[in-house]
Amino acid sequence: MSYHSYFEKAKQAGRDIAGLDKDTINRVLLDLADAAVANTDTLLTENQQDLARMDATDPKHDRLKLTAQRIADIANEIRNVAALENPIGELLSEKTMANGLHISKIRVPLGVVGVIYEARPNVTFDVFSLCFKTGNVAVLKGGSDAEYSNSAIINVIHSVLTRHNINPNAATLLPAEREATEALLNAIGYIDVLIPRGSQGLINFVRQNSKVPVIETGAGIVHTYADESADIEKLKAIVFNSKTRRPSVCNTLDCLILHQNLLTGLPEITKPLAEKEVEIFADEASYQALDGQYPSALLHHAQPEHFGTEFLSLKMAVKTVATFKEALNHIAQYSSKHSEAIVSEDAQNIATFLNTVDAAAVYANVSTAFTDGAQFGLGAEIGISTQKLHARGPMGLAELTSYKWVVRGDGQVRG
């Protein structure tokens, strides 16, 4: 089958699912959640084939790995999506003009949504469930690292769709080969929007080479600024959680920016990190504060390249600043506009940070680990958009829609 044939079938599937009622959609999603759990053994077996080909020290290994608990969590997210209000058909505005025209603005699907992603098999379930809920077709291009896992997942999805007499091409998985990526980037007239999920390199490649519209998601260079008024116990818990909860995901902490007045407390702040063997790349001031207090094998002098790095592992940088303004300038220079946090007890500094830092999600006295569609009440997510046009932050159901104008009249003509 040529790539053109994949795209043709996906576009036809969009027309086929356009008339599905919302109850049917929800029944399919609930059935899919049950099917995911029922097929746990098969999914884990196929996932193990992918894992066996990857170095266990690779930061992507954790992203690639499925477990029975992770599959159960994915199923619960699908159920959450089924329970959410479907935005399609929502009336956004309406008015009647002086000439009698009744004009309304209603929410509609984007159409055919292409997603390019790397070693994240959960994305296959997440993207399909969100797209299907909103009447979109999902055209998926996973990486070769997850080829066995993605194929097993798409088989589960197709079996559920077929059981409900729904065109299975509503979930289209392209071959893992690189040529499929090139075809997707050039699928003008078939793909309405393309969403890359993965490394900064992948995102840059898609943005620079795609001939169809792109929404950028994924890369997170995440900072937490510890203001001089920060509560040390809050700060210690927030830094530990945002760095170690799941180091390989995009909302994890990459750089702690520390006010110089907190340097004496840095050994206490980082003590839990040592227990998780987090490597720290410290600037000169923070290195001196940690020298002899933090395991020497885990403490390194920071180099310029350590700032502005998305580590995706148990590594982080520490930057010391003399002023609040210096912290803001550092974030502005190195941020990927994903998630940024301040830990402070100063209401004015908090307000300034939240109002001026340019990022999709900004936090005060909270771990950045919460940048997640489910945590924001969106169900699962397509990804975290780091741009400003159309969607920003966690992309849930509403972000997979556009709108159209519906105009009703009674024979009016324009003079």
19-76 pLDDT, tens per residue? 899 999 999 999 999 999 999 999 999 999 999 999 988 878 888 999 999 999 999 9
Identity at 191, one-letter amino acid code: I
Per-residue pLDDT reduced to its tens digit, 142-198: 999 999 999 999 999 999 999 999 999 999 999 999 899 999 999 999 999 999 987
Alpha carbon dihedral 381, 385, 389, 390, in 10-degree steps, equals 0
Per-residue pLDDT reduced to its tens digit, 230-266: 999 999 999 999 999 989 888 999 999 999 999 999 9
**Interacting residues of 305 by C-beta distance below 8 A, sequence separation 6+:** none
Does residue 163 lie within any of the structural domains? yes
Query: Both tokens of residue 50?
Result: 């992918």
Owner of token pair 């080829």 = 147
Does residue 125 lie within any of the structural domains? yes
Say whether both 339 and 393 belong to one domain: no
* Rounded Cα–Cα distance for residues 47 and 49 (Å): 5
**Interacting residues of 137 by C-beta distance below 8 A, sequence separation 6+:** 10, 11, 13, 14, 17, 111, 112, 113, 131, 169, 170, 171, 172
Does residue 415 lie within any of the structural domains? no
CB 390 within 8 A of CB 113: no
CB 360 within 8 A of CB 339: yes
Identify the CATH number of the domain in which residue 348 sits: 3.40.309.10
Give the closest residue to 356 by CA, choosing from 329, 376, 395, 319.
329
Does residue 70 lie within any of the structural domains? yes
Does residue 377 lie within any of the structural domains? no
Query: Both tokens of residue 312?
Result: 């995706």
Domain span holding position 66:
3-215+382-408
Stated as kind and residue range, the H or E segment containing 286 is helix 284-290
Identify the CATH number of the domain in which residue 169 sits: 3.40.605.10
E strand segments, 75-119: 91-96, 102-109, 112-117
Count other Cβ atoms within 10 Å, centred on residue 243. Answer: 28
Say whether both 204 and 227 belong to one domain: no
Say whether both 397 and 353 belong to one domain: no
Say whether both 59 and 194 belong to one domain: yes
Q: Between 102 and 379, where is the model more confident? A: 102
Does residue 11 lie within any of the structural domains? yes
What's the pTM?
A: 0.83
Query: Both tokens of residue 6?
Result: 């994949």
Say whether both 400 and 352 belong to one domain: no
Count other Cβ atoms within 10 Å, centred on residue 11. Answer: 21
Q: Among the residues of 68-219, which ranges form H helices? A: 68-83, 122-133, 147-163, 178-185, 200-209
Identity at 303, one-letter amino acid code: Q
Does residue 376 lie within any of the structural domains? no
Say whether both 58 and 106 belong to one domain: yes
Say whether both 143 and 248 belong to one domain: no
Say whether both 315 and 177 belong to one domain: no
Say whether both 119 and 63 belong to one domain: yes
Say whether both 404 and 365 belong to one domain: no
* Rounded Cα–Cα distance for residues 84 and 297 (Å): 48
pLDDT attached to residue 31: 98
Say whether both 151 and 58 belong to one domain: yes
Owner of token pair 């206490």 = 268
Per-residue pLDDT reduced to its tens digit, 90-101: 999 999 999 999
Say whether both 296 and 181 belong to one domain: no
Report how many domains make up the chain: 2
Does residue 287 lie within any of the structural domains? yes
pLDDT attached to residue 126: 92
DSSP conformation letters of 152-164: HHHHHHHHHHHHT
Q: Please check the confidence at residue 219 and state whether its pLDDT lies above 80.
A: no
